[in-house]
């Protein structure tokens, strides 16, 4: 993820540990933190909900009720108001600084988006969309990566309408994060929720039958919905179409199986429910940026472990 040239020209590098450059708009503030020196137990806290996203380098995060974990580029973290972060910087130095953005979003903006979601795209089980109230750590998908990159540009741009532009991007960001969190919740708790939640039941079914043909028509019947209503509900709550979700889970399984260099690729793609290799190759490369054969060869030659 890239910072603009304007950022580097205008920032004031006054501290070697968590040097802060801030931009404030009506409903959000973006802070870019840079660390040029190894450090431990650096404390940080915001009085609003925060999206933290790693740009360069590595942090080790210590949060309440959560085991310490590495925070790496391409990953984000949603923190509730007044959450205390305790941070280590094991690798930062002058030539290899750690950079992270922290975007504080006003409660008013978040609640406005949540109310809109409850009005325009209510959950199928009657529950309401609510703000995530715990530390949600995730890998950015392409859409969230694109939004964050766009926000980095907008906050540093001199444009009379940038408050309006940022507000629109924040709305999309909040919706996508809540959908992603809902998807993860269903996946982690499918067996517990499946008896009383139709989408959780479908998620559990997909996970158990990846090796078999799965159609949206069959899934809609299991959810006791029409096909069109099921497709709409699935996409609105989970932020992804049923077919894209199935393919994503199949590729995850393929990644796991390809780590065994003795397995044949044909055997793997059939086990993952793909009917032909060209379609499997295309989806795999789109997600991993290398072909299945290239990925497996890295385990054969010991490049990956």
Query: Is pLDDT at 64 greater than 90 in this prediction?
Result: no
Mean of pLDDT values over 187-208: 88
How far is 135 from 69, CA to CA, in rounded Å? Answer: 12
User: What pLDDT, on a 0 to 100 scale, did the predictor assign at position 285?
Assistant: 92
Reported in sequence order, the residue ranges of 74-156 that DSSP labels E, i.e. its strands, are: 75-79, 84-89, 98-105, 136-139
23 to each of 1, 136, 160, 217, how far by Cα in Å?
A: 18, 24, 15, 48
Q: Specify the pairing of strand 59-63 against strand 84-89.
A: antiparallel
**Structure confidence at residue 152 as a pLDDT band (50, 70, 90):** very high
pLDDT tens column, 168-185: 999 999 999 999 999 988
Query: Is pLDDT at 304 greater than 80 in this prediction?
Result: no
SS3 state of residue 299: helix
**Structure confidence at residue 189 as a pLDDT band (50, 70, 90):** confident
Reported in sequence order, the residue ranges of the chain that DSSP labels E, i.e. its strands, are: 19-24, 28-35, 39-45, 50-56, 59-63, 66-71, 75-79, 84-89, 98-105, 136-139
Which helix or strand (DSSP H or E) is residue 239 part of? none
CATH superfamily of 244-300: Homeodomain-like (1.10.10.60)
Query: Is pLDDT at 288 greater than 90 in this prediction?
Result: no
104: which 2 tokens? Answer: 């504080």
Reported in sequence order, the residue ranges of 183-233 that DSSP labels E, i.e. its strands, are: none
Topology of domain 5-179, CATH: Jelly Rolls (2.60.120)
Q: pTM (2 decimals)? A: 0.84
Q: By percentage, how much of the chain surpasses pLDDT 70?
A: 98
Strand pairing partners for 44? 85
Domain spans, the chain? 5-179, 189-239, 244-300
Query: Is pLDDT at 303 greater than 70 in this prediction?
Result: no
User: What pLDDT, on a 0 to 100 scale, did the predictor assign at position 301?
Assistant: 65
């Amino acid at each position: 993820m890239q910072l603009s040239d304007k950022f580097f020209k205008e920032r004031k590098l006054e501290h070697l540990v968590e040097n802060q450059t801030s931009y404030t708009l009506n409903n959000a503030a973006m802070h870019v933190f840079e660390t040029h020196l190894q450090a431990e137990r650096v404390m940080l806290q915001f009085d609003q909900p925060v999206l933290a996203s790693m740009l360069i380098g590595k942090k080790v995060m210590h949060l309440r009720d959560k085991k310490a974990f590495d925070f790496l580029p391409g990953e984000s973290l949603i923190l509730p108001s007044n959450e205390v972060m305790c941070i280590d910087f094991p690798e930062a130095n002058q030539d290899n600084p750690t950079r992270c953005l922290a975007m504080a979003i006003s409660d008013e903006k978040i609640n406005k988006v949540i109310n809109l979601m409850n009005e325009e795209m209510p959950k199928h089980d009657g529950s309401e969309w609510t703000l995530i109230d715990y530390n949600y750590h995730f890998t950015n998908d392409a859409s969230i990566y694109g939004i964050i990159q766009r926000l980095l540009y907008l906050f540093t741009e001199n444009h009379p309408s940038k408050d309006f532009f940022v507000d629109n991007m924040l709305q999309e960001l909040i919706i996508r994060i809540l959908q992603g969190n809902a998807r993860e919740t269903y996946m982690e708790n499918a067996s517990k929720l499946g008896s009383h939640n139709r989408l959780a039941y479908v998620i559990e079914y997909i996970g158990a039958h990846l090796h078999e043909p799965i159609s949206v028509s069959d899934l809609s019947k299991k959810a006791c919905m029409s096909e069109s209503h099921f497709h709409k509900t699935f996409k609105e709550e989970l932020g992804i179409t049923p077919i894209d979700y199935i393919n994503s889970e199949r590729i995850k399984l393929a990644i796991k199986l390809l780590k065994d260099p003795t397995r044949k690729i044909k055997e793997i793609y059939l086990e993952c429910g793909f009917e032909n290799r060209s379609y499997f190759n295309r989806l795999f490369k789109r997600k991993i940026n290398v072909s299945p054969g290239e990925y497996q060869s890295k385990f054969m030659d010991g490049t990956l472990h």
